[in-house]
């Protein structure tokens, strides 16, 4: 609302100054008052005599080289540096976590190669039982294997191998060394199992031959004595054995 007697004042010089300081370009043509004809305009000298370089110097805070523009550029540069440092620290963190997982014995059970392959291969060693070791043997064969010390030998060897396996799984070493240890112990375990199966087979063969020999000896005591050579006796034993 405009009261009677009031008049709206508009100073173009102030308007130009406001525009160039805030949002418009630093326009040299809008530095008024002008010098006039032959530089005789007194208003020009009153305004710009003490600031001859003012029209040539862009003082806008958001100008191309203004302080606010520089601050924003520096802020963007600092933000970029922060992002680079953050990426670097995240990389170090991920590397540290990866190395910790590779070295930690507490996480060895989660190793994909252990889960997929080695755990199945070592199943007989990790979960062995007396009944499983002596399965498929007759009571006489079991008694023979135990009495001759074969059973104690296998238990001692398998327990030693199991202890080494658990040590390799729980020790903090790099994953490559742990996998190599698994591979070596798996080779030893397979040889041990093959030796155990071979000894059980030989025990069966021995007991069968012994039983056959006793039967032949008993039949000879009940029948008339006939002279046979050692070769004939051996052939009779082999024929009557279950081999």
DSSP states of 152-195 as a string? Answer: HHHHHHHHHHHHHHHHHHHS---HHHHHHHHHHHHHHHHHHHHH
What's the gap between Cα 94 and its chain centre? Answer: 9
pLDDT score, position 186: 94
pLDDT score, position 217: 77
**Contact status, residue 105 vs residue 169, Cβ threshold 8 Å:** yes
pTM as predicted: 0.54
Select from 23, 33, 21 the least CA-distant residue to 58: 21
Q: What is the pLDDT of residues 55-80, one digit of tens each?
A: 777 777 777 777 888 899 999 999 99
pLDDT score, position 69: 84
pLDDT score, position 87: 92
**Contact status, residue 2 vs residue 12, Cβ threshold 8 Å:** no
Q: 């059970």: which residue's tokens?
A: 109
Q: What is the pLDDT of residues 155-182, one digit of tens each?
A: 999 999 999 999 988 888 888 888 999 9
**Contact status, residue 104 vs residue 173, Cβ threshold 8 Å:** no
Output the six-digit token pair for 113: 């190669």
pLDDT score, position 23: 58
Point out the residues of the chain with pLDDT beneath 70.
1-7, 9, 19-29, 31, 39, 220-231, 233-234, 237-243
How many Å apart are CA 176 and CA 180, to the nearest integer?
Answer: 6
**Contact status, residue 181 vs residue 166, Cβ threshold 8 Å:** no
Q: Cβ of 101: how many Cβ atoms within 10 Å?
A: 14
pLDDT score, position 82: 93
pLDDT score, position 207: 84
Q: How far is CA 61 from CA 23, 52, 65, 81, 110, in A?
A: 10, 20, 8, 24, 60
For 98, residues 6+ apart whose C-beta sits below 8 A from its C-beta are none
């Amino acid at each position: 609302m405009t009261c009677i007697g009031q008049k709206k004042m508009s100073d173009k010089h102030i308007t130009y100054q406001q525009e160039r300081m805030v949002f418009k370009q630093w326009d040299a043509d809008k530095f008024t008052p002008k010098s006039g004809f032959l530089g005789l305009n007194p208003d020009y000298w009153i305004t710009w005599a003490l600031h001859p370089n003012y029209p040539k110097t862009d003082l806008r805070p958001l100008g191309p080289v203004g302080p606010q523009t520089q601050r924003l550029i520096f802020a963007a540069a600092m933000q970029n540096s922060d992002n680079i440092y953050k990426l670097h620290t995240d990389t170090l963190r991920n590397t540290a976590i990866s190395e910790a997982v590779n070295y930690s014995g507490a996480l060895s059970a989660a190793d994909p190669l252990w889960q997929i392959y080695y755990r199945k291969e070592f199943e007989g060693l990790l979960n062995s039982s007396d009944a499983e070791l002596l399965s498929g043997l007759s009571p006489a064969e079991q008694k023979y294997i135990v009495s001759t010390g074969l059973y104690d030998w296998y238990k001692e060897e398998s327990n030693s191998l199991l202890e080494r396996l658990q040590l390799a799984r729980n020790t903090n070493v790099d994953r490559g060394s742990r996998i190599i240890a698994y591979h070596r112990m798996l080779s030893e375990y397979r040889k041990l199992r093959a030796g155990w199966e071979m000894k059980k087979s030989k025990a069966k063969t021995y007991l069968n031959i012994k039983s056959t020999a006793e039967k032949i000896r008993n039949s000879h005591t009940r029948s008339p004595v006939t002279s046979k050579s050692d070769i004939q006796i051996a052939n009779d034993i082999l024929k009557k054995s279950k081999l």
